[in-house]
A and B are shown apart, each in its own frame.
Chain A
Amino acid sequence: MKRVNLGATLRIFWDSCILQSKERAISQYFMATLLFQPVIFTLISVGTYLYGRKPDFGLFAITGTGLISIWNNNLWTSADIIYDERRSGTLSLILASPTAFPIVLLGKSFTNAITSILAMGITFATGIIAFRLPIGIADPVDFLIGLVLIVISITCLGLVLGSLFVLTRNAVEYVTVANFPVYILSGLSVPLTLLPLWTRPFSAVLAPTWGNILLNQSAQQVGANLLPGYLWLIGLSVLYLVAAGILYKRVEYLALRAGSLEQW
């Protein structure tokens, strides 16, 4: 049985976090999706609800937009991490090194997810400044716990996508088609009741769906029963991790058997 050196693993995880932070800090695209996109999406979603004379949906639209930004950042950067490594010529080196690639990917995805929490603050600030919405979070502690759980869960989902993206040069293309279905299926700014019933199983396996429910419940009322939401997010995180592990083993096997990543 392979022994895991916890100290070395943590060091690699930490170094990946630091490296990713530096890369993101100078990435204009990342900064834009983090800082500007939440503002624009909040203007669109809250503006549409206010025009439709549904100001009560303001908070729902804002938390939804915050999660859209968190998901968007994670999705784009999952693709970007692999794409950048490939273009820098370091993807093969990382795969061939004794360090497990998922640890590197985990560190990088986690950094993106943590940073993207800022987007949630920006959506709230936009709602307050642009629309003068009287926004308050009824239960800030539960809201924060929900936010941390959703970030962890989305990071795990990023690992699944990251593993898949190793086998394609078109990751960035696939990302463009993967964001809007998740917004719709997770009910981000759009009520799930608009969707046909057969879509519910797809919604249920997406972490943003439960994150959205948790954040809305904790923002609107104190003492809500959030346990089912917490359990769903924890369960989904474990499921994503297992799926990422299986996928990565398969991807690693394919890459090592081919002796090259050039064919993908």
Chain B
Amino acid sequence: MRANLRLFLGGVRTSWAMYLTWLSPATYFGVRIPRMVLQSLFFVFLAKAAGGDTLARFALIGNAVQIAVFFVLQAMWEVFDNEKWNGTLQFLLAAPANWLPMMLGKCMASYGDALVSTTLTFAVLIPALRVQVDPINLLRAVPLILLTIASAGALGWLIGAISLSIRWGHLICNMLGYLMIVLCGINFPFSALPGAVQTLGDLLPVTHGLLAIRAVIDGASYASVLPWMGMEALIAVAYAALAWLAFAQRLRATRQSGTFEQV
């Protein structure tokens, strides 16, 4: 247990160091924050033009969560992919340590960044667009937002594990991130989608979490959104388990073939 905790903390330190290298303050404040706010603003304007202030409010909540989902999908895929490109995959294979706690630790900076993204998007767009949102209810929704982000992260892990050999991970994450705006009810309600598309959305992370987040922001109790939260947690566990199996299989195949080049 202590060894696993140490591995986890080592992963956290690594992820933080990588973040600091990649995102300088100038890049973070000059590029990253404006990008997340402007992306959300575009989709909120689209909703406002289509359905007035009510749909704009709906889209604002959806997009503030979606922007975190968008980043976390990419980041989780990168956690796997970076091992390959940094040449550290062989150490993961050779080391007797359990790779799971370390990989979990390596995700922590991205989860933190995703939460900051959502917070800043709400903080900027709510006053800028004069949208009515109760701050207390918004704070009550934070655990649900964390759950939804974690759930999307599990999908990012799965993409990372699967795309190690096909090298299309970045592309898949990017396209899926945008497609989730349609499938998960980000800009307009999930219930407006055709039945077959709803089934697809049902199987994706974020859909149920977002329904719960919206309800809590509108004043619902945790108890009343428990089925949605449970479903979101279940989907997160399912995707994480699939990712774990896929990555473990990939490592096993690499050991058997004795080559990293095909990974």
Contact = CB atoms under 8 A, between A and B. Distances in A.
A177 B35 contact: yes
A52 B42 contact: no
A48 B187 contact: yes
A202 interface: no
A189 B179 contact: no
A170 B42 contact: no
B196 interface: no
Interface in B123-148: none
B38 A32 contact: no
Contact of A194 (B49, B182, B192): B49
B91 interface: no
**Most chain A C-beta atoms within 10 Å of own C-beta, residue among B42, B48, B174, B175:** B42
A232 interface: no
Nearest to A184: B42
A40 B38 contact: no
Given A28-B168, A52-B51, A177-B38, A190 B187 contact: no
A51 B49 contact: no
Nearest to B26: A170
Contact of A180 (B38, B168, B171): B38
Contacts of B48: 194
A194 B45 contact: yes
Contact of B189 (A28, A51, A176, A181): A51
B128 to A, nearest CB: 11
Given A43-B182, A180-B35, A189 B175 contact: no
Contacts of A230: none
Contacts of A191: 49
B35 A176 contact: yes
Contact of B178 (A29, A41, A173, A194): A41
Contacts of B59: 48
Given A28-B171, A176-B35, A180-B39, A57 B182 contact: no
Contacts of B31: 170, 173-174, 176-177
Contacts of A180: 35, 38-39, 41-42
B50 interface: yes
Interface in A185-219: 189-191, 194
Contacts, number: 89
B34 interface: yes
Interface residues of A, number: 31
A49 B41 contact: no
Nearest to B182: A43
Contacts of A45: 46
Interface in B168-211: 168, 170-171, 174-175, 178-179, 181-182, 187-189, 192
Interface in B44-74: 45-52, 55, 59
Contact of B55 (A41, A51, A190): A51
B164 to A, nearest CB: 16
Contacts of A54: 49-50
Nearest to B172: A32
A222 to B, nearest CB: 26
A37 B34 contact: no
Nearest to A45: B46
A127 to B, nearest CB: 14
Contacts of A94: none
8 contacts: A32-B174, A40-B179, A40-B181, A44-B178, A47-B188, A170-B27, A180-B38, A194-B48
Given A52-B47, A190-B46, 20 more contacts: A28-B168, A32-B174, A32-B175, A37-B175, A41-B178, A44-B43, A47-B187, A47-B188, A48-B46, A48-B188, A49-B49, A49-B50, A54-B49, A173-B31, A177-B34, A180-B42, A183-B42, A184-B38, A184-B41, A184-B42
Interface of A: 28-29, 32, 36-37, 40-41, 43-45, 47-49, 51-54, 57, 170, 173-174, 176-177, 180-181, 183-184, 189-191, 194
